[in-house]
Structure 1
Amino acid sequence: MKTRSILLGILTVVTGLVWGGQSLTVQAKMTNDQILQTAPKGVTIGNYFSTGNISGNAAKISSTDFGARQAVNLTTDANQAGVIWASDDARMNLNEDQTASMWMYFGDGRKTSSAGDGMAFVLQNDPNGVNAIAKNADGTPASGQSIGVWGTDSRTDMTQPLDTTAIAKLAIQNSWAVEFDTVANQDVSSKTTDANAVSRLKQGPVSAFDWAMDGQHIASGFPWESRTYASQKASETTTTTSGPWYNPTTTTTTTNYYYPSMNHLGKITPGTGTSMFTFLDAGWWRHVTLHWDSSTDTMTYSYNDQVPKAGEEATTATSSTDAASKTYTQSVKINPADDLGVGADGLVRWGFVGSTGSSTAAIENNIVVFDQVPGLVNGNATATLTDTSQSDKVIDDPSDTVNSGDRLSLNYNLKYTSGRESWKDIVAKLNLPTNIVFKNATIKYANGDTDTISDLDTSSSKGQSLSKSLENLNNKQDGSNAPNATADITLNGVAIAGDNDTTTVKETHSSFEGSNALMHTTVSAFNVKKVNGSMTMALTGQITYGPGSTAMANSDITLHPQMNGVNLPTKTLSDSDAAGKFSYTIPASSIISGLTDGNQFVMYATDKNGINSANDVGYTITLKDGTLDLMVNPTGTFNVDHPKNLTGSAMSFPADSNWDVRVKDTRGAGSTWTLTAKADPVSSPTAGLLDGDIVYEGANGDQQSLTTGAAVIATHTADSDSDEVNVTSGWDSTHGIQLETNAGAISGSYQTTVYWAFENVPATE
């Protein structure tokens, strides 16, 4: 019995594709104009580019939503080659450091079977100048695996030995290129068997430059040098039989087939998995920076060194663990004279080439938007976050941790190094990290000018976005403007913990957008650890009511403090203190070091009847470098050095010789401190509370109890940058800490704990 089946139809609705663990949104392919609408902001491209007189050159300057002449469009359709070169006046000078920074779009291979073929940044001194492009044997511009820069194989008979010199002669001459290759050209690969390779080679020239590569990649090399190309071989062995059947002759023949591969330098690949095929062309604008170090003749290229920008609003963002979201960097050596034919003037032409393959399903839109145009403005922007509470520790890794209350300094440094123009019309667009309360933002220029950022919210720890216009930067006289090569934006603040013991602060990205150069920088992610306990500073004072006013109880009076214009926690007075007597502990996290005019502390009082104090109490608090250290012997005794028995009357026992209290002050001459001490009640496990007290007796005979409040032990002003005072020096039977007993004191072994503290601001009434 035969079973006959009829396939009537299958309707599949695809809303998404999960490939290799990454969710991708599948949509209709965008047009070139739609892609340009998603482009990041770039600098306006001046009249320093030329498309030359190259037959079929597809390159053009295009507009984006940010205005005209914002993008270089190399290809928009199948079977295209596009090339654009800098004019003579815009050539790079390799005798100086140079930077090229740009956003690049390679198409969206998720919407097609495969993109192809990519584009390349090229340095060249080809005799053809702005008409330079790689050629086929017939002189037409080369596309496909050549990408318009590498040489081509002109043979038609693949059994002819390969001539790598002949291939190199069809490339752009006196050149170096870094390619962004969106398809691995592997008609024949290192994994192909000879039999399969021969079958393909019998059909003619193959596309196998990426013979040993896996997937999309970035790599560099010297297109015009024969060493860039290698000859690969596949062999076919055939056996034939001839002659009479009774005496046959067997002949074995081996035929070799030759094809070229390319030697890739400075390779960047994502590894295996989905990203092999979407490393470049995943519908994203990818950022690329090339930096030439003239002192070492080294070109460094970095891929994905800024956060990728979506090529379409609905695209699913790449995961932070995806290979295509990491930054990749490689460096290669280039000898300007030998490798590029550069003369003593150091000048070399630069530009972009790109090409597409024959498949209309794999059309690749190769587009470039510049942040920095080589030679126009060269410079850099950096961000450095420093924890000054941890010996100026630089916070530059997501694993770094600061403590709540730590003083942090965030510096953005802009540096102009060289160029044909000053860096003009710069606007700093700062995105500040969360969990830091920034108290001030100052700007200092190389020419001595200073400025501030006025829209800083000095009470917010939620992260802020600030915008500030800056002065033009240059390193030589520019009209009436003196050299002004750097700008430093410095923000000082305090780390603020979140609700958890440790809070992770996300990285932030800022930009500096000029009319002729855009630069970016990043503050690393880091952690803020909640710290129990803090160093504090206390102020004391007295509130009094004037004639005709009804004095309130202490618990009806509230203090309202501010530091540098920021409200601090209020405090209600305690009824256990004397009427109107107050003290306020200033949070150490509110005090900033390095302020020119010091920290401005202001406080006023209100009562429950709504009466405000007629005056504000104000202080200027300045933190100096250095430390104030207290060194105390952990154990001190009375009545051990020279023991005396109780007599039934009042007695006094001076501190024994083991009391040792020293203060070391390295904050500098003129710094002051006040040392206080208070103690728990003196008691014995068997005899109970002592009928007596522990007191401090000054030189004038005045006594202060340590058990009823903090007694002032010593006040001192440093007379050197490294000042040390022995507080207990000179204590005797009538001066220093004493144990006083009354007539009812009972013999026994008694204990107490003494608490030492600094007050390094003067007390006031």
Structure 2
Amino acid sequence: MTSIYGFSGEGGENSVKMRSILLGIVTVVTGLVWGGQSVTVQAKMTNDQILQTAPKGVTIGEYFSRGDISGNNAKISSTDFGDGQAVNLTTGANQAGAIWANDDARMNLNEDQTASMWMYFGDGRKTGSAGDGMAFVLQNDSNGVNAIAKNADGTPAAGQSMGVWGTDARTDMTKPLDTDAIAKLAIQNSWAVEFDTVSNQDILPTAAPDDANSISLLKKGPVSDFDRDVSGQHIASSFPGKSTTYQSNQASETTTGGSWLFPTTTTTNYYYPSMIHKGTITPGTGTSMFTFLDAGWWRHVTMHWDSSTDMMTYSYNDQVPRSGEEATTATSSTDSVSKTYTQSVKINPKEDLGVGSDGLVRWGFVGSTGSSTAAIENNIVVFDQVPGLVNGDTTATLTDTSQSDKVIDDPSDTVNSGDRLSLNYNLKYTSGRESWKDIVAKLNLPSNIVFKSATIKYANGDTDTISDLDTSSSTGQALSKSLENLNNKQDGSTAPNATADITLNGVAVAGSSDTTAVKETHSSFEGSNALMHTTLSAFNVKKVNGSMTMALTGDNIDAGGISGSQKLTEAKDVTLTGQITYGPGSTAAANSGITLHPQMNGVNLPTKTLSDSDAAGKFSYTIPAASIISGLTDGNQFVMYATDKNGINSANDVGYTITLKDGTLDLMANPTGTFNVDHPRNLTGSAMSFPADSNWGVQVKDTRGTGGTWTLTAQADPITSSNGLLDGDIVYEKTNGDQQSLTQGAATIDTHTSDSDSDEVDVTSGWDSTHGIQLETNAGAISGSYSTTVHWSLNNVPASE
């Protein structure tokens, strides 16, 4: 871009001379956004400037070692998110860098493992292709944290080796190629997936065996031709320490000599190596093939090890920048900006990596650059998930409960306006050396849904809500919520808690057009030791014409028929009734075309289709007792809406609150009660009656709520002394004179229905000489000290007739 400043006129209007042209230096700046995080990337940045653009990662410094590798350029670097956030492998030309997991951070291949990361490969858009790239490596090399591919002189190998693949140590290219010798200079007992930013093809695959240019290069020494079978930037994997990874190629030069009379022909063969690539990923054709890796953007990569199948799957671009990619890099629907690339390869841990029964293997990154200072490559990695530290997964699922729980997971899927939708974010912890700690859910909700509730349920039974949800917004919201730590075993004082489910329930809202396209949304779950992401698919909202409303009828319903409430002292079925009404211009469906969709405390209850035998729009629904929970602070929340076969949803929900009092029923009785102590009398030789003394204190306390019933009974053991049984009995005498023996069976003492939420009854307060428990003696009773035990029984049922 050229900026022109100032003109000066001389000699008239047709004689204008440009006195000065100042060239303005222009820096191109483009914005990127990861979720709610804004990041800026620009061309020709220094390494420190690049680190300032890095997305947030986990702190990784304690997990890695640089070893004692001579000339190792790798280091742990800081970003704007803190110290120890990034692995910096190279920053200049002709460098090699390697960094390895320490012993405690090795990966266990006996278990499923995940490594997730953002990678930066430099910017080749302004300087031409960068080089050479970096590789993720699993290795059981005897050198441990000092492992790196070497040149013949023992120095770390840069260039096409990337510090992992073997090198050609020959100087005379006419000597046959020894692939074993090349493999021995690579990292041993290893598997690597390379992110190759330059195709090493000194000798083009299309060149004839006797191509003069090829011969000229081979005469000078080893050539760089590892990528003979793949063109352009690419991702591929293989086993660096195996000779079968390398193959020999041949070029031939034929020369003539001797005399004209006796001419001679001599053929000289030249040999050079190339690499056999496995699980190759390339971008295809178009300009994107030149910026597939090194376009100056952070690219996301996930490595997943499946221990049951011994398969390693690597996915590239599975989390893409949300905006800011230059349009020139996007050439088709399969271009590197918008497409996720995935390959899977089989690895035998024992045979390929020399892994023992413990399954442990070291992992890390190596990288290198070429000699061209014009194509300096900054190879940097920021981790979301460090393998073995926290392994888990996150998913986002949108379900249309109005359409028989249809899962909305494709941009072509359509929901109707008014449909009830349930959005679930599931976090799952599978394994790891640490619990997933300090998690903050950063949710970006889709537009065109009015969410009415947001609840969180953990595997340990804990529940929570998201309080900052705007229940009237349909424009899409950004929510942030701290979550409990997740683990699958006891972690100190923290009990196992392997999952968290965040569920938001809402209603689809149409836009101004008949069909509104809702964009995909991206959410993240950011812990101190693992960051995970999930994407919710785009979908469509179709505008549905017509209206339908619901109203409850019957007792305990408010004036508008929208809600009601009831208190229970015991769980029992509750039946609600109501009426469905269609608005003007709406086509009413027969009852058999209308379905009720109930939910209790956020859990779906069985739907019900209305019957044509009932009056139009009349409905009833029975809430089962089993769904009613006691002790809930806000009671049991029942919500219901209706749909019909024409795709119309009720414009409103109806709600009903059922409170099941979580109280207690308690009996308090003095441990000792007497007869004939307060006002003693002597036996007269005839039948006598003695009322209970004042120390017979019996009380019942009922905090279960109004309407609670109870029955109190008493039964006594035989009345005995050292002289034998008493000639008499203990009875309960009612106010009407009827008596029940306590020694002959259980006598009903009292029955009661509570008239308050905290009800107390003093059972003995009305006892007197003719009412209450009495001691009855017969004429043959002998004076003495007698005793018995009275057994009280309090039951939460009314007395039987």
Residues 254 and 154 of structure 1, relative CA distance in 2, 3 Å threshold: same
2:105 is aligned to 90
Are the counterparts in 1 of residues 166 and 185 from structure 2 also a CA contact under 8 Å? yes
Give the partner amino acid of 1:468: K
> Quick check: 1:183 aligned with 2:198?
yes
> Quick check: 1:504 aligned with 2:517?
yes
Question: C-alpha distance in 2, partners of 1:75/1:278?
Answer: 19
Query: Aligned to 1:394, which of 404, 407, 432?
Result: 407
2:91 is aligned to 76
Give the partner amino acid of 2:288: S
How far did 1:45 drift? 1.3
Give the partner amino acid of 1:157: D
SS in structure 2 opposite 1:167?
helix
Query: Aligned to 2:308, which of 295, 303, 308?
Result: 295
> Quick check: 1:205 aligned with 2:222?
yes
1:57-76 alignment, distance < 5 Å: 57-76=72-91
SS in structure 2 opposite 1:325?
coil
Question: C-alpha distance in 2, partners of 1:349/1:405?
Answer: 54
Deviation per CA, 1:348-382: give whole Å up to 9, x if none.
Answer: 00000000111111110000001001111111111
Are the counterparts in 2 of residues 318 and 325 from structure 1 also a CA contact under 8 Å? no
Give the partner amino acid of 1:192: A
Question: C-alpha distance in 1, partners of 2:493/2:225?
Answer: 58
2:606 is aligned to 625
Residues 719 and 163 of structure 1, relative CA distance in 2, 3 Å threshold: closer
Mark the runs of 5 or more structure 2 residues left unpaired by the alignment: 1-19, 29-39, 565-579, 589-594, 625-649, 656-801
> Quick check: 1:410 aligned with 2:350?
no
2:383 is aligned to 370
Give the partner amino acid of 1:279: F
Q: Which has the larger radius of gyration?
A: 2
Query: Aligned to 2:299, which of 283, 286, 300?
Result: 286
SS in structure 2 opposite 1:459?
coil
Residues 468 and 269 of structure 1, relative CA distance in 2, 3 Å threshold: same
1:537 is aligned to 550
> Quick check: 1:237 aligned with 2:254?
yes
Are the counterparts in 2 of residues 16 and 26 from structure 1 also a CA contact under 8 Å? no
Residues 48 and 335 of structure 1, relative CA distance in 2, 3 Å threshold: same
SS in structure 2 opposite 1:675?
coil
Query: Aligned to 2:168, which of 121, 140, 153?
Result: 153
Are the counterparts in 1 of residues 549 and 582 from structure 2 also a CA contact under 8 Å? no
1:706 is aligned to none
Give the partner amino acid of 2:356: G
Query: Aligned to 1:596, which of 573, 596, 600?
Result: 600
Query: Aligned to 1:129, which of 144, 162, 172?
Result: 144
Are the counterparts in 2 of residues 418 and 474 from structure 1 also a CA contact under 8 Å? yes
SS in structure 2 opposite 1:183?
coil
Deviation per CA, 1:450-507: give whole Å up to 9, x if none.
Answer: 1111111111111000000000001110011110011011111111111111111100
Query: Aligned to 2:55, which of 40, 47, 55?
Result: 40
> Quick check: 1:52 aligned with 2:67?
yes
Give the partner amino acid of 1:31: T
Query: Aligned to 1:219, which of 236, 260, 281?
Result: 236
How far did 1:113 drift? 2.1
SS in structure 1 opposite 2:160?
helix
SS in structure 1 opposite 2:116?
strand
SS in structure 1 opposite 2:422?
strand
SS in structure 2 opposite 1:369?
strand
> Quick check: 1:138 aligned with 2:153?
yes
Deviation per CA, 1:202-248: give whole Å up to 9, x if none.
Answer: 221100000121110000000000111111111222233415xxxx1
How far did 1:595 drift? 4.2
2:495 is aligned to 482
Question: C-alpha distance in 2, partners of 1:480/1:371?
Answer: 26
How far did 1:427 drift? 0.3
Question: C-alpha distance in 2, partners of 1:89/1:160?
Answer: 45
Deviation per CA, 1:330-349: give whole Å up to 9, x if none.
Answer: 10000000000000000000
Are the counterparts in 1 of residues 562 and 654 from structure 2 also a CA contact under 8 Å? no
2:119 is aligned to 104
SS in structure 2 opposite 1:361?
helix
Are the counterparts in 2 of residues 540 and 584 from structure 1 also a CA contact under 8 Å? no
Give the partner amino acid of 1:457: D
2:360 is aligned to 347
How far did 1:199 drift? 2.2
TM-score, normalised via structure 2 length: 0.67
1:323 is aligned to 336
How far did 1:625 drift? 2.5
Residues 153 and 480 of structure 1, relative CA distance in 2, 3 Å threshold: same
Residues 136 and 438 of structure 1, relative CA distance in 2, 3 Å threshold: same
Are the counterparts in 2 of residues 174 and 340 from structure 1 also a CA contact under 8 Å? yes
Residues 115 and 360 of structure 1, relative CA distance in 2, 3 Å threshold: same
Give the partner amino acid of 2:262: T
Query: Aligned to 1:676, which of 596, 607, 616?
Result: 616
Are the counterparts in 2 of residues 15 and 26 from structure 1 also a CA contact under 8 Å? no
Question: C-alpha distance in 1, partners of 2:542/2:375?
Answer: 51
Are the counterparts in 1 of residues 253 and 267 from structure 2 also a CA contact under 8 Å? yes
> Quick check: 1:457 aligned with 2:491?
no
Residues 594 and 206 of structure 1, relative CA distance in 2, 3 Å threshold: farther
SS in structure 1 opposite 2:220?
coil
SS in structure 2 opposite 1:520?
strand
SS in structure 2 opposite 1:39?
coil
Question: C-alpha distance in 1, partners of 2:477/2:654?
Answer: 34
Residues 65 and 13 of structure 1, relative CA distance in 2, 3 Å threshold: closer
Question: C-alpha distance in 2, partners of 1:525/1:314?
Answer: 20
User: Alignment identity in percent?
Assistant: 77
Give the partner amino acid of 1:178: V
Question: C-alpha distance in 2, partners of 1:40/1:26?
Answer: 11
Query: Aligned to 1:429, which of 442, 449, 454?
Result: 442
Query: Aligned to 1:380, which of 363, 368, 393?
Result: 393
Query: Aligned to 1:307, which of 308, 320, 323?
Result: 320
SS in structure 2 opposite 1:55?
coil
How far did 1:28 drift? 4.9
> Quick check: 1:271 aligned with 2:284?
yes
Question: C-alpha distance in 2, partners of 1:272/1:717?
Answer: 61
2:134 is aligned to 119
How far did 1:192 drift? 2.1
How far did 1:187 drift? 0.5
How far did 1:760 drift? 12
Mark the runs of 5 or more structure 1 residues left unpaired by the alignment: 1-8, 18-24, 542-558, 565-581, 599-621, 631-661, 664-673, 678-713, 721-756
SS in structure 2 opposite 1:176?
strand
Give the partner amino acid of 1:223: P
TM-score, normalised via structure 1 length: 0.70
Residues 460 and 204 of structure 1, relative CA distance in 2, 3 Å threshold: same
> Quick check: 1:466 aligned with 2:452?
no
Give the partner amino acid of 1:230: Q
Deviation per CA, 1:85-106: give whole Å up to 9, x if none.
Answer: 0111110000011110010000
Are the counterparts in 1 of residues 552 and 561 from structure 2 also a CA contact under 8 Å? no
Give the partner amino acid of 1:253: T
Are the counterparts in 2 of residues 100 and 291 from structure 1 also a CA contact under 8 Å? yes
Residues 145 and 403 of structure 1, relative CA distance in 2, 3 Å threshold: same
Query: Aligned to 1:259, which of 272, 286, 306?
Result: 272
Residues 286 and 372 of structure 1, relative CA distance in 2, 3 Å threshold: same
Corresponding residue pairs, total:
570
2:45 is aligned to 30
How far did 1:437 drift? 1.1
1:690 is aligned to none
